Amino acid sequence: MLSAKEITFYKEQGYLLPKEPLFSEEKQIALSAIFEEHLAAKGEKLSDELDTPHFRDHRLFDFLLAPEVLKVVEDIIGPNIGLWSSHFISKEPGKGRRTPWHEDSAYWKGKFDQLDKIVTIWLAIDDSTLENGCMGVVPGTHTNGFSEYETVQKDDNSTFQTEIKKGTFKQEDVVWFELKKGHYSLHDARIIHGANANTSPNRRCGYTMRYFSLDMKFNEELNPGHLIYYAQGENLAKNPLVYV
Task: Using the predicted structure, report yes or no on whether residue 1 has a pLDDT greater than 90.
Answer: no
* Element (DSSP H or E) covering residue 8: helix 4-13
pLDDT of residue 15: 98
Give the angle subtended at the CA of 241 by the CAs of 235 and 243, to the nearest 5°.
105
Q: Where are the domains of the chain?
A: 4-242
How distant, in Å, are the alpha carbons of 72, 79, 118 from that of 214?
Answer: 16, 9, 10
pLDDT in tens, 59-112: 999 999 999 999 999 999 999 999 999 999 999 999 889 999 999 999 999 999
- Quick check: 91 and 203 in contact, CB under 8 A? yes
Confidence of residue 155 (pLDDT cuts 50, 70, 90): low
Average pLDDT over residues 121-134: 97
Superfamily of domain 4-242: q2cbj1_9rhob like domain (2.60.120.620)
pLDDT tens sequence across 4-51: 999 999 999 999 999 999 999 999 999 999 999 999 999 999 898 999
Q: Is the Cα dihedral 99, 52, 50, 31 positive or negative?
A: positive
